[in-house]
Each structure stands twice: as C-alpha cells, then as structure tokens.
Amino acid sequence: MTHPIVALQAALVSALEADAALVALVGASGVFDAPPQNRPAPYVVIDRHDIRQVDGDGTPGQEHRVLVNCWADRPSRKAALAIAERVMAARTGLVQAGLVVTLAEHVRTETAIDAATGQARAAVLLRFLTE
C-alpha cells in the first residue's frame, strides 16, 4: 500500500500541474518537491508535508499539513500571492489517489521578501483530512 503522504502529495502535484492559470504563472514544469537547482523563479515547492493519525471507528484516517512555498521572480508580494491563490484553488481539485479526501482547507498564508535573492515568497499552509 502507498503511504498516505505519497498518495496525497501525488494528487496535489497532479492538481497543481493541471491548473492552467498556475501553469501560466510558473511554467509547465514549475512544481517541485524540493527547491530546484539552476532554475529561476517563479515556481512552487512543496516544502513540508506532515501527517498525524486520526483514526475513527474502524476507519483509518490522517490529518495532513502541507506547506507550499510560492516563489515569484521579483520582490512583489502581489506576484507571489497570485501564485498562492492558484495553489489554494487547486487544493479542491484533487483526484482521489488511493485516499478519500474528506476535507481540504487553507489554514494560513505568510509572505516575505527574501533578503538574499530579492524575490517574494508566499508560504501557504494547507490541511487535508483523508481516509
């Protein structure tokens, strides 16, 4: 059986890559599991994915918290937030991949301008419940 993190993350990546508006902002191959080497922003990185078991009566369940960093190619919070908006929209379009997603919610968004690169970043925390 596929681990719930792998299953949910595969579904999330597929939803992000299928979002035409997001692809227009970050490019056709702009979604990553780790910061890309030698690829300039804009792009999206699934930075962290944590899971906690929340089993019910006879049904195994999981709570996922997924941190997605949305990097713009300039010091513009507006540009980073445009990417973040598409990430939040894509969370509801998950194709079930061995899991039943019973909740997909946006928890918070934080923004920053990176001092080293001068690029804007929006960090989006998503929460999913799966069975």
Structure tokens given for 87: 């990430």
Report yes or no on 76 lying in a domain: yes
Name the pTM for this structure: 0.92
Closest CA to 8 of 91, 71, 69, 87: 91
Q: What is the CATH number of the domain that holds 125?
A: 3.30.2000.30
Domain count, the chain: 1
Structural domain including 22 reads 4-82+96-130
Asked whether residue 16 is domain-assigned, the answer is yes
In a domain, 54, yes or no: yes
For the segment 85-110, what is each residue's pLDDT rounded down to a tens digit? 999 999 888 876 678 899 999 999 99
Q: Is residue 89 part of a domain?
A: no
Has residue 123 been placed in a domain? yes
Q: Answer yes or no: is 90 within a domain.
A: no
Does residue 22 fall inside a structural domain? yes
Structure tokens at 91: 């969370």
Q: pLDDT tens for residues 13-57?
A: 999 999 999 999 999 999 998 889 989 999 999 999 999 999 877
Instruction: Estimate to the nearest angstrom the gap between the alpha carbon of 90 and the chain centroid.
Output: 9
Q: Is residue 88 part of a domain?
A: no
